[in-house]
Amino acid sequence: MLGHVNAVANLAVKDMARAKRFYQDTLGLEEVDHMGEEVSVLKSGDTLVNVYRSEFAGTNKATAVTWAVGDRIDGLVSELKTKGISFEHYDMPETKLEGDIHVFGDIRVAWFKDPDGNILNLINR
């Protein structure tokens, strides 16, 4: 039923101006629409990310958005570090840490947070 329809990620933020700087300037997403100062619709590849103001910003303790970046993961992690991104390190079974990238067999994942604490990641899939 919904398997052929694109989905949109939604991220709650407290400070819209700060979030727009992060998602546009640091991550390189492009604003394609907005609803005043309450919602910014950002383009990421062929998908959209809605960033919206909410008092509940940063309360999600799980990954909110994943970018499947293939073999570009190492270069993107390096590039994001030059832009001031700090990567999260998690203690997980059967996982080794190579720099800022968690490795599970052939899966490579790097987690980081936006200014409101939303957990984002890159994966080599």
Q: What is the mean pLDDT of residues 89-113?
A: 96
| Model confidence at 67: pLDDT above 90 | yes
The share of the chain scoring above pLDDT 90, in percent, equals 92
Map out the domains of the chain with their CATH numbers. 1-55 (3.10.180.10), 63-125 (3.10.180.10)
Residue 65 · residue 42 · CB < 8 Å = no
Task: Assign 39 a pLDDT band (cuts: 50, 70, 90).
Answer: very high
CA of residue 68 relative to chain centroid, distance: 10
pLDDT, residue 4, reads 85
| Model confidence at 5: pLDDT above 90 | no
pLDDT, residue 19, reads 97
pLDDT, residue 116, reads 96
CA triple 92-96-101, angle to 5 deg = 95
Its pTM surpasses 0.75 = yes
Q: What is the mean pLDDT of residues 33-39?
A: 94
Q: What is the mean pLDDT of residues 37-62?
A: 95
The more confidently predicted of residues 2 and 103 is 103
| Model confidence at 1: pLDDT above 90 | no
Write out the H or E segment, with its range, that includes residue 121.
Answer: strand 119-123
pLDDT, residue 104, reads 95
Report how far residue 115's alpha carbon sits from residue 26's, in angstroms, rounded to the nearest whole number: 11
